[in-house]
Amino acid sequence: MSAQNFKNHIRLVPLQMLGYLAALIALGLAVMKFWRSYSTGVSGLLVPTILLLNTFAIITIKKNTVKIIA
């Protein structure tokens, strides 16, 4: 039984890492967009809102992953 659990865990880890990678890419793009709008002087709340939502998503994914593994 433990061998089966080990096999299932091995299969799920790459998908988890892809999720982290996608979240980090989204956060990185949001930071770049935020910096670009800040540099050009564009005022508005859309870019900071996207940045905060992406940060919240990464924190939520991390908390849920810890609960699932533990």
User: What's the pLDDT tens digit per position in 2-40?
Assistant: 555 556 556 655 777 788 888 888 888 877 877 777 767
pLDDT at residue 16, rounded to an integer? 74
Q: Residue 70 has what pLDDT?
A: 41
Token pair in block for residue 53 = 């939502």
pLDDT at 37: 74
How many domains are there within the chain? Answer: 1
Q: First-to-last CA distance in the chain?
A: 18
Domain span at residue 24 reads 2-69
To the question of pTM greater than 0.75 for the whole model, the response is no
What torsion do the CA atoms of 63, 13, 22, 55 make, to the nearest 10 degrees?
10
